[in-house]
Amino acid sequence: MRTTNVFFTTALIPFALIVACLLAGCATSKVQKPDGLSGPSPAVRSDASIVQALEPVTGAGRVLVVYFSQGNATRAVAEDLAALTGADLEAIVELKNRAGFFGFMGAGMDATMGTATPIAGPFYNPARYDVVFVCTPVWAWHLCPPVRSWLRMYSGKFVKAAFVTVSGDTEPDKIVAAMIEESGVEPFASDGFSERDLYPENRDSYVARLAALVEPLR
């Protein structure tokens, strides 16, 4: 009982800090900032097609790009990777209501606790692909629960993968480690983007990092 209490206290402290930051932000400003702690990302993205900036990959076999996105950021990265590699694109659908303040709180709680939440049955089977990209937002410094569910569902079913995180500002290492643990796959590449990387003024470095992600497939 005591061990359980200590665990819960330790696990929930980081998320309680997020909520405190959020409340402090609401009290002082009504302007939504891309601070990574205020919910899904605002839509900010260059209009230019990625294949105008980078030569598409050919000869990599069948490629699948899987992602979850509440806002637009992870979807934007996933779509760019799919356009570059000629991949099929699967959006993971979480079967849990994340609306409003309590939805946000529950999302952070589920992520912090390492919960694998229910998802809709995926359309594509990663076992039929030569390469799989898995793209996840960061929630409360942890792997996003519906992506955890997808990785767990297909653990051991695919072998060649790259893992991508998208966040406000969080380093990818811990989340990528969780993705490796859930899937049993050591990725051939990984990277962690922040929403700012999608801004038009950061286009060059964004394109260079996408190039590095797909380079092993050329």
* Nearest-10 crossing angle of helices 100-113, 145-153: 50
Instruction: Kindly state the smallest distance separating residue 201's Cβ from ligand FMN, in Å.
Output: 17
Choose between 60 and 144: whose C-beta lies nearer to ligand FMN.
144
Instruction: Kindly state the smallest distance separating residue 59's Cβ from ligand FMN, in Å.
Output: 30
**Rounded Cα–Cα distance for residues 117 and 16 (Å):** 21
In the three-class reduction of DSSP (H, G, I as helix; E, B as strand; rest coil), residue 64 is classed as strand
Give the single-character DSSP code of 92.
-
Alpha-carbon distance values, 65 to 6, 111, 114, 124, 206 (Å): 39, 22, 23, 10, 18
Alpha helices in the chain (DSSP H): 2-28, 50-53, 73-85, 100-113, 145-153, 173-183, 203-214
Instruction: Kindly state the smallest distance separating residue 159's Cβ from ligand FMN, in Å.
Output: 26
**Rounded Cα–Cα distance for residues 139 and 109 (Å):** 9
Choose between 60 and 136: whose C-beta lies nearer to ligand FMN.
136
Instruction: Kindly state the smallest distance separating residue 213's Cβ from ligand FMN, in Å.
Output: 17
Choose between 117 and 170: whose C-beta lies nearer to ligand FMN.
170
Q: Hey, what are 16's tokens?
A: 């309680």
Choose between 110 and 160: whose C-beta lies nearer to ligand FMN.
110
Choose between 40 and 114: whose C-beta lies nearer to ligand FMN.
40
Which residue's Cβ lies closest to ligand FMN? 71
Instruction: Kindly state the smallest distance separating residue 45's Cβ from ligand FMN, in Å.
Output: 10
Enumerate binding residues for ligand FMN (CB under 6 A).
36-37, 39-41, 69-75, 104, 107-108, 137-141, 166-170, 195
The one-letter amino acid at 51: V
Instruction: Kindly state the smallest distance separating residue 216's Cβ from ligand FMN, in Å.
Output: 24
Choose between 87 and 107: whose C-beta lies nearer to ligand FMN.
107
**Rounded Cα–Cα distance for residues 66 and 28 (Å):** 37
